[in-house]
Amino acid sequence: MRQRQRRAVVTFHTTAEAMATEKLCKAKDLAGKLISAPRSLSADCGIAWSAPVELREALVRALEEAQIEFDGLYELTL
Amino acid sequence: MIYFDNAATTLQKPDCVVRAVSEALCSLGNSARAAHGGALAASRTVFAAREAIAALLGCPRADHVVFTQNATEALNIALLGLFSPGDHVISTDLEHNSVLRPLYALQRCGVAVDFVSADKKGNVDYADFEALLRPETRAVVCTHASNLTGNALDLHRLGELTRAKDILLVVDASQTAGALPIHMTELGVDVLCFTGHKSLLGPQGTGGLCIRPGVEIRPLKTGGTGVQSHLPYQPEQYPTRLEAGTLNAHGIAGLLASVQWIREQGVEQIHAREIALARRFYAAVSAIDGLTVYGDWTNDARAPIVTLNLRDTPSSELADALFEDYGVATRSGAHCAPRMHRALGTTEQGAVRFSFGYFNNGDEVDAAVAALRELSRE
């Protein structure tokens, strides 16, 4: 089994927002990856951004600066 | 075959487009539908295409580039999604049926539509737009360039008018996206509709709308989006609001490659090459006795299209003779532009359209001129 870790998870209204987030984080060297939106957060079938929890503040700052809208920001053990 | 039907679709594509579609067919899953490698590869490709098109056409946000099957679908989404009974819209005689038929359908539903007339040269009088304004006017809806004459409308001038009057400017860029420089924000365009398979050099089955943030368009189609699945209605956010169902990611991969190729070449350089070919043809055929050449060639801000007739020869006969005897592919008939033909006086005869592309050359132009010279002597 994978080792579970505390993660900062961002959910989106659209896939375009998720794609923009991935590109932004790569450009800013912010670690993270796209995952299926966790069922505990949403009954949706969309995709979410999962980042190390310690990057939460940097992630929010980057999203706001880039004017990328998102649905919600959560901390989860995944 | 000498292919001069680029205004219908560009037949020769950059090699990178062919490779991109082939690779996409072997590697892409369904965009926006999962977080596995295949689906993410499709989502990344689609988003990269949104970014590339936004950069090419001056759309302020990549997520306001919406993909459709073609310009017709984009125009239907824009026109049927913007206007309501009681609204008034101004359009022009230059329009293709992809604009005209949605407008006529709206007329039946109580939207008032007026058309700015074109003269025998295919030009409009810009004072007519202002003269047709009413308190309930919501928009000017117009082509960037006529698919029949190649004459372009001055979007900068129209953008100044629509901004001053606080109404929308909706543009059909089917003949100009990739062939003429366009920056929708600088021009004051609110919705720009494009097709992928003409001067954007991409595959058929691709097209879309670039939407200024703040412009609200009702969805024409509703359905699966891969997000907000338990919402009973189409999501509100662009681009998902207007994209129901699986996108043509394979085609969009080709469109991404073609737009990248166009940006590498530079639209100005592409336009210069294409207009030089069109001017070479225009100058030569204008000197041939018996040919009537349409359109206004007083400046180069136009699409690379030359349309003509030989005396009273039906346009279909001339086009068939050009292809069967000389291998020159053109387009005859009405070109889905009935109002423009009426303005030129060619409703009965139609006309033969020569439309030039980046991959044509001067020798092909000269061969077509020689063919017309021979045919004019028959």
Question: What is the domain partition of chain A in residue ranges?
Answer: 6-77
Take residue B113 and report the two structure tokens written for it: 């539509």
CATH of residue B222's domain is 3.40.640.10
Q: In angstroms, what separates the C-alpha of A66 from chain B's closest C-alpha?
A: 11
Burial class (CB in 10 A: 0-12, 13-18, 19+), A52: middle
Which of A15, A22, A35 has its CB closest to that of B227? A15
B46 contacts in A (CB within 8 Å)? 15, 19
Domain identity same for B88 and B213: yes
Q: Would you say the C-alpha torsion B296, B151, B161, B156 has a positive or negative sign?
A: negative
ipTM score: 0.90
Average pLDDT for runs of 10 along chain B of length 378: 98 98 97 92 98 98 98 98 98 98 98 98 98 98 98 98 98 98 98 98 98 98 90 94 97 98 98 98 98 96 97 96 98 94 96 98 98 95
Beta carbons of B327 and B88 less than 8 angstroms apart: no
Beta-carbon separation of B43 and A47 below 8 A = yes
Of B198, B111, B189, B190, the C-alpha closest to B153 is B189
A69 contacts in B (CB within 8 Å)? 237
CATH topology of domain A6-77: Alpha-Beta Plaits (3.30.70)
Asked if A13 reaches chain B (Cβ–Cβ under 8 Å), the answer is yes
Domain identity same for B147 and B280: no
Domain identity same for B238 and B289: no
From B219, B243, B265, give the residue that closes a domain.
B265
Q: Sorting pLDDT into bands at 50, 70 and 90, what band is A53?
A: very high
Q: Based on C-alpha coordinates, what's the Rg of chain A?
A: 12
Domain identity same for B113 and B20: yes
Mean pLDDT of chain B: 97
A13 contacts in B (CB within 8 Å)? 227-228, 235-237, 240
B28 contacts in A (CB within 8 Å)? none
| DSSP 8-state symbol, B357 | -
Domain identity same for B225 and B294: no
Beta carbons of B295 and B306 less than 8 angstroms apart: yes
Count of structural domains, chain B: 2
Which of A15, A23, A35 has its CB closest to that of B32? A15
Distance in Å from the first CA to the final CA of chain B: 23
- Give percent helix, percent strand, percent coil of chain A, each to the nearest 5: 35, 30, 40
Beta-carbon separation of B227 and A23 below 8 A = no
d(Cα B198, Cα B196) in Å, to the nearest integer? 6
Asked if B230 reaches chain A (Cβ–Cβ under 8 Å), the answer is yes
Find the domain containing B171 and state its range: 15-265
Domain identity same for B142 and B247: yes
Predicted pLDDT of residue A43: 63
Q: In angstroms, what separates the C-alpha of A54 from chain B's closest C-alpha?
A: 23
Three-class secondary structure of residue B4 per DSSP: coil
Which of B31, B34, B235 has its CB closest to that of A13? B235
Asked if A40 reaches chain B (Cβ–Cβ under 8 Å), the answer is no
Mutation site, B63, B209, B211, B231, interface A, largest A CB count within 10 A: B63
Which of A13, A16, A22 has its CB closest to that of B228? A13
Mutation site, A23, A36, A45, A78, interface B, largest B CB count within 10 A: A45
φ, ψ of residue B39 to 5 degrees: the values are -70, -40
Take residue B325 and report the two structure tokens written for it: 């005897």
Beta bridge partners, B291, equal: B310
Beta carbons of B83 and B60 less than 8 angstroms apart: no
- Which residue in B has a C-alpha nearest to residue A22's C-alpha? B44
Asked if B62 reaches chain A (Cβ–Cβ under 8 Å), the answer is yes
B43 contacts in A (CB within 8 Å)? 15, 18-19, 47
Of B92, B31, B77, the C-alpha closest to B209 is B77
Please give the helix or strand (H or E) that residue B129 lies within, else none: helix B127-132
Beta carbons of A2 and A50 less than 8 angstroms apart: no
| DSSP 8-state symbol, B62 | G
Strands (E), B130-213: 137-143, 168-172, 191-195, 207-211
Domain identity same for B259 and B277: no
Q: CA B197, B199, B203: angle at the middle one, nearest 5?
A: 20
Q: Which residues contact B363 (CB under 8 A, 6 or more apart)?
A: none
Is the confidence at residue A21, as pLDDT, over 90? yes
Predicted pLDDT of residue B232: 92
Is the confidence at residue A2, as pLDDT, over 80? no
d(Cα B57, Cα B30) in Å, to the nearest integer? 26
Domain identity same for B291 and B350: yes
What is the dihedral angle through the alpha carbons of A55, A56, A58, A59, rounded to the nearest 10 degrees? 110
d(Cα B118, Cα B208) in Å, to the nearest integer? 27
φ, ψ of residue A42 to 5 degrees: the values are -155, 140
A35 contacts in B (CB within 8 Å)? 35
Domain identity same for B150 and B79: yes
Predicted pLDDT of residue A42: 74
Domain identity same for B233 and B367: no
Beta-carbon separation of A69 and B237 below 8 A = yes
Enumerate helices (H) and strands (E) in chain B, giving the number of each.
12, 12
Beta-carbon separation of A45 and B226 below 8 A = yes
Domain identity same for B343 and B368: yes
Domain identity same for B227 and B304: no
CATH of residue B278's domain is 3.90.1150.10
A27 contacts in B (CB within 8 Å)? none
Beta carbons of B167 and B357 less than 8 angstroms apart: no
Which of A16, A34, A47 has its CB closest to that of B62? A16
Take residue B170 and report the two structure tokens written for it: 């909706």
Three-class secondary structure of residue A36 per DSSP: strand
